[in-house]
Structure 1
Amino acid sequence: MDRRTLLQSLAVGIPILMLSKKLSSFALPDSATRDFVEKILSGPFSPTWESLSKYETPEWFRDAKFGIWAHWGPQCQPEAGDWYAREMYMEGSWKYKYHIEKYGHPSEFGFKDVINTWKAEKWDPDELVSLYKKIGAKYFMALANHHDNLDLYQSKHQKEWNSTRQGPKKDIVRGWADAAKKHHLPFAVSVHAAHAWSWMETAQRADRHGSYAGIPYDGKLTKKDGKGKWWEGLDPQELYSQNHILSKDSQDNSTIHKQWDWGNGVTPPTDAYIHKFFNRTIDLINRYSPDMLYFDDSQLPMWPISDVGLKIAAHLYNKTIKDNGRLTGVVTGKILDEVQRKAMVWDIERGQSNNIEPLPWQTDTCIGDWHYDRGIYNRKGYKSAKTVIHTLVDVVSKNGNLMLNIPLRGDGSMDELEYKIVEEIGVWMNANGESIYATRPWKIFGEGPSLKQTTALTAQGFNEGKGLPFGAADIRFAVKGKDLFATVMGWPDQGFVLIKSLANGAVHYPEQISNVQMVSTGEKLKFERTTAGLQVHFPAERPVIFYANALKIS
């Protein structure tokens, strides 16, 4: 299938997964690859699904279980939540109204101007990463760019619109990378810029009502329009990438979700756009040597209209082999089929699997909105530490990792409500980490009432918080060597818990049980094993944090 046929197929909405097998060997014609300035390393991995499917998830990732993500960039500056750079151009939306009140009309003050106000004056990456390690994170991820298309590093191929030249005039990724290295944490970067092409199409609009009706927003401005302005000499199209016709139904704000996989009428990106994304990402990998690359994409960036995502994944894998003598790289993607899950780590956004997955996976979630939202702070709307810990324990029992975003203000600081949540997570992790780190799933992941009401994944995830809340009758299991960990998701009011899966004669645990102790204190607990289950008597005094109580059984 050639590229023209492929794009025509996507335009009529043929589902991606129906095409995936046919496209497994898809490559651009030679004439379309002349602008690949950066080169990929040769090695055991080639840029095909077949080659990448030989991938094996490195042990560091499997053992880590818990990471912290700084999903932080210029969209945090307005403190109005995620997707600000898109929704500030959506007439009548609350972010549009907020933008006008705070900055002015988007025909006069666009997102490029928001970037100019972002100074990151209180950002201290060393202090933050030190805190993340202290609370139990075993890897750290930084935002390298978002759909707003500003590179947060010294970008060779986004020379003017990067954080060393605009906004804070700092190499954000370098600051995070150096801090992670200092504190001996594997370093990850998240890359979202593949979708700027369609995501920023709202900037091409104009108001339909009011005194600004018909006056275009700043999405079509070019270099010649900057004379006498702060951005004189800069080309906004290098940032916005809007020098193209609108995608089908672009005026419908929800259409972007249907077109995330480059189908359903999206205007096909140019070769130049695709090549530039490839060059930027390879430069990012070569410059900062991340251990992990997170993509906010269905499968891989630009797939299936281009194989650049396959090239990037192969390059990262081969580079970590060259640098470390073994494969240490991790690449994540969303909505993967069975073949694709062998080639990379499946990431589930704001949700979790309902089963033990045969291959390691990750959920990514946030205690608030992805970008900092002052409204969530004002109404005290953050996830509690209890919710985070319950999610972590459940995910680990199913062979997964939790990547948690703690939103930072535009200035780079953490608010006091977040800090309290982070500290509480740290107290639990430092007391119970033995039941989390380097564990593997048991024969079953758990038992209890919560299993009776689970919610299926939607698109790339989005099922978190939709089931029954956990309680003391809910148990989650994990194993390390000969030790079985059973985490009781609450404190039993009756003073004991009955673990039915560990009854006498239980098929999953025929071995004798000689010892049960509470991980957080090391205290040995009284227990009786009957045909009804393993009855474990809890101490009279509760620990400081008692909403998840890990038991070590041997």
Structure 2
Amino acid sequence: MKISLPFIVALLTCTMFTNTSIMAQAIYEDERYVPETDPLVLEKLEKWQDLKFGLLMHWGPYSQWGIVESWSICPEEYGWCERKKGSNPDNYFAYKKEYENLRKTFNPVKFDPDKWAKAAKNAGMKYVVFTTKHHDGFSMFDTKYTDYKITDAQTPFSTHPKSNITKEIFTSFRNQDLWAGAYFSKPDWHMPAYWDPYYPPRDRNVNYEPESNPQKWQEYVDFTHNQILELLTDYGKVDILWLDGGWVAKKPNSAISSWYDRQLKNNETGYLKYRNINQDIKMDELVQKARVKQPGLIVVDRAVHGKNQNYLTPENRVPEKPLPYPWESCIIAGGGWSYAFNAKYMSGREAIHTLADIVAKGGNLLLNIAPSPEGEWDAGAYQLLNEIGTWMDVNGEGIYGTRAMAPYKFDNICVTSKPDGTIYLIYLVKEGQRTLPSEITFPDYKGSKNVKAKLLETNNRLKCSASEDVLTIKIPENLKEKLLKTNAFTIQLK
């Protein structure tokens, strides 16, 4: 999760669109977004763009150490690859063995996915993406293709009635009417056909040359296909297949290569090993088989340009401008992607402002919350979601089912719109703000001069007047004190 090439999208300079089309061609570095052609997928993508708010969860045995997921067993020179836990972090092979033995003590007996699902629904979330397997290769589902999994006898939680964690999570969240999304890592640093034990691992990539060892590589391709198809066969309806590890691809495209070159200029040498290696896992074939199992499945082959990246995923940041294709920012709610002891969570204000900013630019927010080793969420996570949910109960109509509309954002006001012409102005109240203006001036207003304004917070009608492409909305003095106590308030124009 730590390396996500779609960060590049935040640097785009491009012409934005204001309609609901998901077919727009766009420059992504020097590559083009490839629009989907499957009508079922197009229909589902349009629905997904209406959802706006989802939950991401990184969870595995690594939570016991409170460390970054997977990356400490990757022999690269990056901060997130540092080995800080274990009895012998200076000995790579001893450390990796101890890391992998964390499964023998992983026993999250307080696991209660129904509680998580209810909290997510109350917060206004509409879909979940769960890490069924991260780069370390530990499967959080009852796979038939490896013993390195949550249901293996060596893992104490295997005797628990809810040991098949992925199935339990998907079931609980679907019961709350949320979509189910499966995060799945294409690289697997435990599987011998990816990191062959004959060779030491050299970096994040396969540690042998696939083209010189086609039989071994085919074993890995089959393993990957089998696990993914297993998830899409035995775990009910799956709406999103969210694939990570963009370096596992047929060949590095020019955007990826140029990104690598930038790392070289910044002395980030770890990325340069094997950058041109061909790690073709036959994605076109896999996606075709996947959609036989799950018609209309949205596939997100992150950081791999082409038709199998149905939407893009800027990571832990919000693009400066709207993007002319479906996209989603995945953002850490507190601590890190994986569980961190004594994590500090973002405030409700920060989360609400982030959501409004993303939605105004046409995207979705995927907010990450990491469960503890015992299978719980921190109290701070529940508090955050409760605050978001309270706000969404009043202002959600300005979030769900909307699309980007120029000017997108002006001053501290986000703009969203619906196909029926309704416009929403979401005023972001700053921390410590003491006053509100007596009127809001909406520039470049193109709507009806007979428009009516309503404050969703109180259901009050607001006086407004339109002239020469400017709409002026009055804020009554008797409402200002109440509005200043909110994180944000929404004005409906209809």
- 1:124 corresponds, among 91, 97, 112, to 112
Match of 1:309 in 2: 283
Match of 1:195 in 2: 187
Cα separation, 1, equivalents of 2:408 and 2:327: 15
Q: Is 1:295 aligned to residue 295 of structure 2? A: no
1:185, distance to aligned residue in structure 2 (A): 1.5
Cα separation, 2, equivalents of 1:94 and 1:345: 28
Give the 3 Å change call, closer, same or farther, for CA 84–286 of structure 1 in structure 2. Answer: same
Q: Is 1:73 aligned to residue 60 of structure 2? A: yes
- Conserved 8 A contact 2:462-2:473: no
- Conserved 8 A contact 1:75-1:85: no
Match of 1:444 in 2: 407
1:493, distance to aligned residue in structure 2 (A): 4.6
- Conserved 8 A contact 2:409-2:415: yes
Give the 3 Å change call, closer, same or farther, for CA 431–364 of structure 1 in structure 2. Answer: same
- 2:474 corresponds, among 536, 540, 549, to 536
Report 1:205-284 matches (<5 A).
241-246=195-200, 250=202, 256=204, 270-284=217-231
Cα deviations across residues 274-316 of structure 1 (Å, max 9, x unaligned)? 22111111111111131111111338x5333325322232233
How many positions carry a matched residue from both structures? 422
Match of 2:42 in 1: 56
Q: Per the alignment, in what secondary structure is the counterpart of residue 280 of structure 2?
A: coil
- Conserved 8 A contact 2:449-2:467: no
- Conserved 8 A contact 1:68-1:404: yes
Give the 3 Å change call, closer, same or farther, for CA 416–50 of structure 1 in structure 2. Answer: closer
- 1:518 corresponds, among 455, 459, 473, to 455
Q: Per the alignment, in what secondary structure is the counterpart of residue 511 of structure 1?
A: coil
Match of 1:150 in 2: 138
Cα deviations across residues 418-469 of structure 1 (Å, max 9, x unaligned)? 2221211111112211111111222432223xxxxxxxxxxxxxxxxxxxxx
Cα deviations across residues 485-525 of structure 1 (Å, max 9, x unaligned)? 111122675433655444xxx3x514214321222332222
Q: Percent identity?
A: 20
- Conserved 8 A contact 1:150-1:162: yes
Match of 1:12 in 2: none
1:240, distance to aligned residue in structure 2 (A): 8.3
Match of 2:12 in 1: none
Cα separation, 1, equivalents of 2:53 and 2:29: 34
Match of 2:24 in 1: none
1:163, distance to aligned residue in structure 2 (A): 0.9
Match of 2:436 in 1: 495
Q: Is 1:413 aligned to residue 376 of structure 2? A: yes
1:122, distance to aligned residue in structure 2 (A): 0.7
- 1:549 corresponds, among 483, 489, 492, to 489
- 1:335 corresponds, among 269, 285, 303, to 303
1:139 maps to a residue whose letter is: Y
- 1:286 corresponds, among 233, 241, 247, to 233
- 1:425 corresponds, among 388, 402, 413, to 388
1:359, distance to aligned residue in structure 2 (A): 2.5
Residue range with higher mean Cα deviation, 165-174 or 528-537 = 528-537
Q: Per the alignment, in what secondary structure is the counterpart of residue 355 of structure 1?
A: coil
Gaps of 5+ in 2: 1-27, 252-278
- Conserved 8 A contact 1:336-1:346: no
Give the 3 Å change call, closer, same or farther, for CA 54–433 of structure 1 in structure 2. Answer: closer
Q: Per the alignment, in what secondary structure is the counterpart of residue 224 of structure 2?
A: helix
- Conserved 8 A contact 2:194-2:220: no
Give the 3 Å change call, closer, same or farther, for CA 475–440 of structure 1 in structure 2. Answer: closer
Q: Per the alignment, in what secondary structure is the counterpart of residue 403 of structure 1?
A: strand
CA RMSD of aligned residues (A): 3.8
Residue range with higher mean Cα deviation, 415-424 or 403-412 = 415-424
Give the 3 Å change call, closer, same or farther, for CA 77–84 of structure 1 in structure 2. Answer: farther
- Conserved 8 A contact 1:82-1:370: yes
Q: Per the alignment, in what secondary structure is the counterpart of residue 371 of structure 1?
A: coil
TM-score, normalised on structure 2? 0.74
- Conserved 8 A contact 2:436-2:484: no
Give the 3 Å change call, closer, same or farther, for CA 241–542 of structure 1 in structure 2. Answer: same
1:111, distance to aligned residue in structure 2 (A): 1.6
Cα separation, 2, equivalents of 1:320 and 1:298: 23
- 1:86 corresponds, among 73, 90, 98, to 73
Give the 3 Å change call, closer, same or farther, for CA 545–276 of structure 1 in structure 2. Answer: farther
Cα separation, 1, equivalents of 2:41 and 2:81: 45
- Conserved 8 A contact 2:182-2:240: yes
Residue range with higher mean Cα deviation, 416-425 or 544-553 = 544-553
Cα separation, 1, equivalents of 2:328 and 2:319: 10
Q: Is 1:371 aligned to residue 338 of structure 2? A: yes
1:101, distance to aligned residue in structure 2 (A): 8.2
Give the 3 Å change call, closer, same or farther, for CA 312–53 of structure 1 in structure 2. Answer: farther
Give the 3 Å change call, closer, same or farther, for CA 480–162 of structure 1 in structure 2. Answer: same
Cα separation, 2, equivalents of 1:497 and 1:239: 66
Give the 3 Å change call, closer, same or farther, for CA 482–90 of structure 1 in structure 2. Answer: closer
Give the 3 Å change call, closer, same or farther, for CA 117–139 of structure 1 in structure 2. Answer: same
Give the 3 Å change call, closer, same or farther, for CA 351–19 of structure 1 in structure 2. Answer: closer
Cα separation, 1, equivalents of 2:490 and 2:30: 45
Report 1:473-512 matches (<5 A).
473-490=412-429, 493-496=434-437, 499-502=440-443, 506=444, 508-512=445-449
Cα separation, 2, equivalents of 1:276 and 1:105: 26
Q: Per the alignment, in what secondary structure is the counterpart of residue 337 of structure 2?
A: coil
Give the 3 Å change call, closer, same or farther, for CA 18–428 of structure 1 in structure 2. Answer: closer
Cα separation, 1, equivalents of 2:56 and 2:212: 30
1:335 maps to a residue whose letter is: A
Cα separation, 1, equivalents of 2:56 and 2:115: 15
1:297 maps to a residue whose letter is: G
Cα deviations across residues 258-284 of structure 1 (Å, max 9, x unaligned)? x69x99x99997221222111111111
Q: Per the alignment, in what secondary structure is the counterpart of residue 274 of structure 1?
A: helix
1:93, distance to aligned residue in structure 2 (A): 8.7
Larger Rg: 1
Match of 2:149 in 1: 162
Q: Per the alignment, in what secondary structure is the counterpart of residue 476 of structure 1?
A: strand
